[in-house]
Structure 1
Amino acid sequence: MKQHNGMRPQDLVILLKIIAKGEEDWLMKDIAYELGISNSEISESLNRSVIARLISSDKKMVMKLALLEFLKYGLKYVYPQRPSGLVRGVVTAHSAEPLVNSIQSEEVYVWPYAEGKDRGFSVEPLYSKVPEAALKDRLLHELLALVDAIRLGNVREQNIAIEELDKHFN
């Protein structure tokens, strides 16, 4: 088996996309197309996730409890984020579903994207193609927004995001 040189941000995006697919059958080429990531990058990512025990050895079942544990305890330290200037983009974190109705805030957070419909503080997505992929898949958008709430939020927002992720995963 290959040596593990650490996870990359797109690995989380790929795992969340697989979760968003639910019971739907998928192929690596489907994930690659829908996320705008090359087939070889998907393959390498899934290999890293197998080594990290975040996906089964057959690369079909995400180990949701392990992923949730990583998101809860490691995400904000490994992929921290601080919002920057105002830009046009796609809403994320508490500014997007499912948190937009439960967390009230004057600040709007967005992933920069020229074709986005919202304006807010810029948040760097885990992977450059995230805004496009999120606009094509509502559930993936929600999962990624919850992950950003963990990356950006205070303890209350993080706890609410983790509870929501737990609901999605189960």
Structure 2
Amino acid sequence: MKKHNGMRPHDVVILLKIIATDNDNWLMKDIANKLHISSSEVSESLNRSVWAGLITNDKRRVFKSALLDFIIHGLKYVYPQKPGAMVRGIKTAHSAPPLSFEIQSDQNYVWPYADGDSRGFTIEPLHPNVPKASLEDHKLYELLALLDAVRIGNTREQNLAIKELKNRIQ
């Protein structure tokens, strides 16, 4: 195994995709195809996640409690984000479901994406292919939008997002 040089943003995306798959019979190539990431990158990511204690040694099952701890206590510090310019894209954070049902705001946040249906302030996704993968998997989309609420939201938004993430991940 290569030397561990720390987690990368897309490692969290890959772990959430495994959780969204909702079974232990997934294949690495399927995760790679569905996330539009190379198989070798998925393999390296899983090795980093094993080292970090976020997935079992056989790379089949995510340690959900450990992942939630990282999301709750570390995500916004390790992968911080500030809203950028107004662009076309796909809604995220409190602008996307499920938080959009509870939080009313005139400020939309979006992942930049040319084929998106909304305008809002840019939030850089954890991987450039997140918007495309999210359009193909509604469950993953909601998990990633909740992650962005943890990354950029105020305390109320973060607490609502964490509550939703706990319900969906555990």
TM-score, normalization by structure 1: 0.98
d(CA) in 2 for partners of 1:155, 1:142: 19
Shift of 1:38: 0.5
d(CA) in 2 for partners of 1:52, 1:3: 12
Instruction: Give per-residue Cα distances to partners, 1:107-155, cap 9 Å, x unaligned.
Output: 0000000000111111100000000000000000000000000000011
**Amino acid aligned to 1:18:** I
> Secondary structure of 1:100's partner?
helix
Shift of 1:78: 0.5
Q: Summarize the alignment of residues 74-153 of structure 1 with structure 2, pairs less than 5 Å apart.
A: 74-153=74-153
Q: Summarize the alignment of residues 5-16 of structure 1 with structure 2, pairs less than 5 Å apart.
A: 5-16=5-16
Shift of 1:2: 3.8
Shift of 1:24: 6.0
- Maintained 8 Å contact 2:24/2:60: no
Q: Which runs of 5+ in 1 are unaligned?
A: none
1:40 corresponds to = 40
Instruction: Give per-residue Cα distances to partners, 1:31-90, cap 9 Å, x unaligned.
Output: 000001001000000000000000011101010100000000000000000011110001
Q: Which runs of 5+ in 2 are unaligned?
A: none
**Amino acid aligned to 2:158:** Q
**Amino acid aligned to 1:45:** S
> Secondary structure of 2:89's partner?
strand
TM-score, normalization by structure 2: 0.98
Shift of 1:25: 2.2
**Amino acid aligned to 1:30:** D
> Secondary structure of 1:80's partner?
coil
- Maintained 8 Å contact 2:76/2:152: yes
1:4 corresponds to = 4
d(CA) in 1 for partners of 2:72, 2:113: 27
Taking only the aligned residue pairs, the percentage that are identical comes to 63
Moved over 6 A (4+): none
- Maintained 8 Å contact 2:50/2:57: yes
**Amino acid aligned to 1:152:** I
Shift of 1:106: 1.0
Instruction: Report the aligned-residue RMSD.
Output: 0.9
Q: 1:72 to 1:29 in 2, by over 3 A?
A: same
Q: Summarize the alignment of residues 44-59 of structure 1 with structure 2, pairs less than 5 Å apart.
A: 44-59=44-59
